Amino acid sequence: DTGVSQDPRHKITKRGQNVTFRCDPISEHNRLYWYRQTLGQGPEFLTYFQNEAQLEKSRLLSDRFSAERPKGSFSTLEIQRTEQGDSAMYLCASSFFPSGNTEAFFGQGTRLTVV
């Protein structure tokens, strides 16, 4: 499978616990993005990396959220002290920049439920 891979697909956690998600982008893609999608809404941008550098963070990314892409390949998104409002689908996408065709490919997401 050469698409964007996310793990786990589902995560149920108790409020206050920390969770970490992993994203493996398409291998030749140098840009990696994290989005959050709540039920009935479009995805909302959280942050993106070009290679290992985190270039932009949304104001949605509170200080409880941290993302890394240590070697410019896979990325992790950690949420500390989870709250019920963190329940959402967390989507990862990747693209190659610069490119005339700048399509961002999305993974299937990690659905987080905070109980």
Partner 1 sequence: QQQVKQSPQSLIVQKGGISIINCAYENTAFDYFPWYQQFPGKGPALLIAIRPDVSEKKEGRFTISFNKSAKQFSLHIMDSQPGDSATYFCAASKRGSQGNLIFGKGTKLSVKP
Binding site for partner 1 (CB under 8 A): 4, 31, 33, 35, 40-45, 48, 56, 91, 93-95, 97-98, 102-109
CB of 26 to partner 1, least distance (A): 12
Phi, psi of 84 (to 5 degrees): -60, -30
CB of 16 to partner 1, least distance (A): 27
- Picking from 7, 4, 13, the residue whose alpha carbon sits closest to that of residue 112 is 13
**Based on CB atoms, which residue is closest to partner 1, 82 or 95?**
95
**Based on CB atoms, which residue is closest to partner 1, 52 or 80?**
52
**Based on CB atoms, which residue is closest to partner 1, 47 or 82?**
47
Phi, psi of 38 (to 5 degrees): -100, 165
CB of 23 to partner 1, least distance (A): 11
CB 81 within 8 A of CB 13: no
CA geometry: angle at 12 spanning 7 and 13, to 5°? 110
**Based on CB atoms, which residue is closest to partner 1, 5 or 66?**
5
Phi, psi of 36 (to 5 degrees): -125, 140
CB of 98 to partner 1, least distance (A): 8
